[in-house]
Structure 1
Amino acid sequence: MKYRLGIDVGGTNTDAVILDDQLNVIESTKSHTTKDIETGIYRSMKTVIDQSGIDPAKITHAMLGTTQCTNAIVERKNLARVGVIRLGYPASVSILPYTAWPQDMVGILSGKYRILHGGSEYNGESITPFNEDELRDLLKKWQGEVDAIAVVGIFSSIKPEQEQRTEVIIKQLYGQTFPVSLSSTIGSIGLIERENATILNAALHKVIQKTANGFAQSLIHEGVKNAKTYLCQNDGTLMSIEYARQYPILTIGSGPTNSIRGAAYLAGAKNAVVLDIGGTTADLGVLVNGFPRESSIAVDVGGIRTNFRMPDIISIGLGGGSLVKEDKDGKITIGPESVGYQIEEKALVFGGDTLTTTDIAVRLGQAKVGNSKNVAGISLEFAKKVESKIKEMIETAIDQMKTSGDDVDLILVGGGSIIAPERLAGVRSIIQNPKGPVANAIGASIAQVSGDFEKLYSYEKIKREVALKDAQQFAEKQAVLAGASQETLELVDVNETPLAYAPGKTTKVRVKVVGKLI
């Protein structure tokens, strides 16, 4: 028998599960997330292995979903010094790199940038000739002053060759292991947003190295010596540790997508709204053909506007540890403040002195945790008013996620799901599973590996079917690099967007394939 180990780190809890080779859940555990993150990972890993009684050497795959990259950007910690090279002089000098960035972030990343000759027009023609001597002179000045470099070419999504040549020269001068991020492999169309995403990817170099190394060491310490290791991506799929070292930005937003994938697996559903209630927030996403729906608009990450792929998620300040307050006029407020991982110390049902949504759920008989006698003094009238407010918050969020007025199926997961009402307006059915509280770790464990590719094609210069085949081949290459088995690759999504402002029937083609783990 072979096994999989899945771990997901949330703001309140770190969950771990072990699945057998038929993807049945053998054992699961939930423990509080620790300040240093790694201690919580190790604790959950050790607990779930010990409880299962399996031989750690029989674990063949280990997956980690983590918020460390997101936290590093939000908290401005452990980020690398980044040099930004934009290929597009003189066409793009009116808008400089780091435009509209928070100033504290610019200072942390060093703020070094240079706009060099190069770049392409939308039709692939060169803006100005690429100048290698100019690049080499700049790199000599930056020697020892940057930890990573972000390379961004105008319309490099059409012609990435200049970016690729820049990377070759950087590694010639700085060494083959020096981290270089190319915008043509990260963002979509839109120079500034793509540049921002590429800078963030470069800035996360140190964070992902520490995360990957710490995960590997924890596995070895517990005797998990034969497992292939993966990190979770934000589209609900996995990538190998080595691929993650190149593209750490793809881990941002992976927590909610793990829950969505886990919810889909537990419910046996492919199309539904997923509500994941944790200790601090409730995240809502949409399942489309078994995968999380992606956002169609630019997304802010830590105050920085980007256009790399992100899940379409709504987060509201409602969780099992959310504080419940009533003002002098009788108005009820819930969250966004939460007792978080301290719920077993501060909530009334556990002998604390703070009123939380969990206390209300216990008072109403929706949950049996802690000591119900501790909340007997809460009036039923007040508890029902709080329940009504919770219901209103959830229903409003569901309406925001819906694309039509029809009722939807709702899959309810997460450790805080005990606070959700039994009925919700606009919801046809509510689906729950006993393993719902660890859906995120299950999602990490059962995920496949994906490959994405996006490019502009002129359908007057290349036949549509040839363009689609070309894009699919590149997506398959990305999936294999990320750790997928070539023989199991499957095309799951093709998206074509005609660009009205560009001649020659120019169309943005995006292709996604998925495959099983090697």
Structure 2
Amino acid sequence: MKAGVDVGPTNTDAALLDDDGRVLATVKVPSRPDMPVANVRSALEKLKATDLTQVAVGLRGSATSVTRRRELRRVAVLRISGDSARAVRPLFGWPADLRDAVNAGAVIVDGGGGLERDDWTPLDRAAVSRFAAAMAGTAEAYAVVGLFSPLDAEQEQEAAELIRAEVGDMPIALSADLGSLGLLERENATILDAALSGFAQTVADGLGTLCPGAAVFVTRGDGTLMSLEHMSRHPGLSLGSGPASVLRGAGALTGLEDAVVADVGARRVRVGVLSGGFPEEAVGGARIGGVPVGFRIPGLIKVDRPVDDAELAEAVDRLQPGADRLPLVTVGGGAQAVQQGIHPEHGLAAGAIGAAVSPVGGFYERIVRLPDRAAVAAAMDAVMEEARAVAVLAGADPRQTVIIHADETQLDYLPGPFVKLRARAAGPPSRW
């Protein structure tokens, strides 16, 4: 037996499934504000499930913390770039209230500085140590961002060691762990990862006590799962996970891998696309709490309630990929108010079902310099192996983890034969 739970702002849904993915029962309980662990406990108690081997939880609390500016740690931001990236300072463009809630201080130090190793400048170790010492007692977490960490993360790791030597065992988020390439989006994501570390640890500790003997996972914004330990290290990965679970659940309930999905909630309708069984990412990058970030979250169009049929139809049309129209699947607690689309059985608990049936995922992205096309295959093999390793680290069964997507992009705007390689891996949750 396995259970999925989707903690929404109004209600918390739970679903009980067998190992073949058949839905055995669903329940709905009112959500208590700012009590995610208590909401999960109430839903599981009403589900009356025993002998669970796995519980997967869709949490929207991380996004709520960011949008409401609550339960956020103050972060000291260290950017390693030297003069090449001083024009735009860390936290540039953040809403003032969010910046005030998160920012403990920021500095740009020398280091990195080139696409080739011979062009790199040494990390200014003394400047890193001075900054860490100056932030002691003020910062509750640190974010370390290297301009060229997608090429080589060594200086980020070196800086983290220097920070620990000054301040001890503090949460330190490294941008290289998040994998995205754009400096500002990656930096913003790293800062939010650090800011959410306290909230994530509290939730992870609470969820870990709910179901003794069961493996507990949390949903991610890309439609996969991660272990509680992985979530406590990278809480930002849970941003966008609620809609992602709904999209996955709509696909599981209809057997469709490609569809437009309307999630009809109590306050609004969110429309997204399921592509190849997984949520289609936001085009042009994601924004959380008014901040552009490098996290992978679903691209959504929001329609306010009460639902206007014409407005909903326009949103669905905008998400259609072309002349070959995708079917519309309508799910969510308010789905009965919408006549359009396929209404699957158990659609009211699509988010909980999507959480229960999702695999554990891993993503890896790197820029590499290739002397010729013959080297692409070996470089891609290395990137795919890293993606598999990330998935296993997040809790996937290493014996069944496979690559679900890989691609390469020629970076013509960089001097020399540089390419961006990306790979996604997924596997069933490990029970050991």
Cross-structure match for 1:506: 418
Which residue matches 1:365? none
Partner of 1:394: 312
Deviation string, structure 1 residues 141-170 (Cα, Å, up to 9, x no partner): 211211110000112101111001112222
1:103, 1:246 → 2: CA distance? Answer: 26
Cα distance in structure 2, aligned partners of 1:405 and 1:187: 34
Q: 1:208 aligns to what?
A: 200
Could you tell me which of 173, 180, 185 is aligned with 1:181? 173
> Matched residues in 2 for 1:262 and 1:468: separation?
31
* Pairwise CA RMSD: 1.6
Which stretch has the larger CA shift, 307-316 or 79-88?
A: 307-316
Equivalent position of 1:45 in the other structure? 44
Kept in 2, the 8 Å contact 1:479–1:514? The answer is yes
Aligned: 1:296 with 2:214: no
- Is the 1:150–1:180 contact (alpha carbons within 8 Å) kept by the matching residues of 2? yes
The aligned counterpart of 1:375 is none
1:402 to partner: Cα distance = 1.4
Q: Is the 8 A contact 1:120 1:159 kept in 2?
A: no
Per the TM alignment, residue 21 of structure 1 is displaced from its structure 2 partner at its CA by 2.3
Q: What is the DSSP-based 3-state SS (H/G/I as helix, E as strand, rest coil) of the residue aligned with 1:488?
A: coil
Do the aligned partners of 1:272 and 1:286 also contact (CA within 8 Å) in 2?
yes
| Aligned positions of 1:248-327 closer than 5 A | 248-318=235-305, 322=306
Q: Which residue of 2 aligns with 1:415?
A: 333
How many angstroms apart in 2 are the aligned matches of 1:173 and 1:474? 31
Gaps of 5+ in 2: none
For residues 117 and 3 of structure 2, the distance between their equivalents in structure 1, rounded to whole angstroms, comes to 46
Q: Distance in 2 between matches of 1:36 and 1:46?
A: 19
In structure 2, give the amino acid aligned to 1:420: V
> Structure 1 residues 265, 271: closer, same or farther in 2, change over 3 A?
same
- Structure 2 distance, partners of 1:79, 1:227, is 29
1:192 aligns to 2:103 (yes or no): no
Q: Mean Cα displacement is larger for which, 255-264 or 137-146?
A: 137-146
State how far apart, in whole Å, the 1-side matches of 2:388 and 2:179 are. 18
Task: Render the CA deviation track for 1:209-261: whole Å, top value 9, x for unaligned.
Answer: 122122233x1xxxx21011111001111000000011100101001110111
Q: What TM-score do the two structures reach when normalised by structure 1?
A: 0.80
Alignment of 1:340-359 (within 5 A): none
Q: Give 1:493 deviation, angstroms.
A: 0.7
Determine which structure has more spread, i.e. the larger CA radius of gyration: 1
Query: Secondary structure at the residue paired with 2:149?
Result: coil
Is it true that 1:434 corresponds to 2:323 in the alignment? Answer: no
Are the structure 2 counterparts of residues 435 and 274 from structure 1 closer, same or farther at C-alpha, using a change threshold of 3 Å?
A: same
Contact preservation (8 Å) 1:12, 1:280: no
1:17 aligned partner: 15
> Aligned-pair distance for 1:31?
1.6
Q: Distance in 2 between matches of 1:124 and 1:441?
A: 47
**Aligned-pair CA distance for 1:175:** 2.9
Q: CA deviation at 1:282?
A: 1.2
Aligned to 1:403, which of 299, 303, 321?
321
Q: Out of 381, 384, 403, which is 1:491 matched to?
A: 403
Q: Percent same amino acid at aligned positions?
A: 33
Query: What is the number of residues matched between the two proteins?
Result: 428
Unaligned ranges ≥5, structure 1: 323-333, 335-389, 423-429
Q: TM-score with structure 2 length normalisation?
A: 0.95
Of 227, 230, 233, the residue aligned with 1:243 is 230
CA distance in 2, matches of 1:433, 1:154: 47
Deviation at 1:23, TM superposition (A): 2.1
Q: Partner letter of residue 66 of structure 1?
A: L
User: Match of 1:374?
Assistant: none
For residues 118 and 313 of structure 2, the distance between their equivalents in structure 1, rounded to whole angstroms, comes to 51
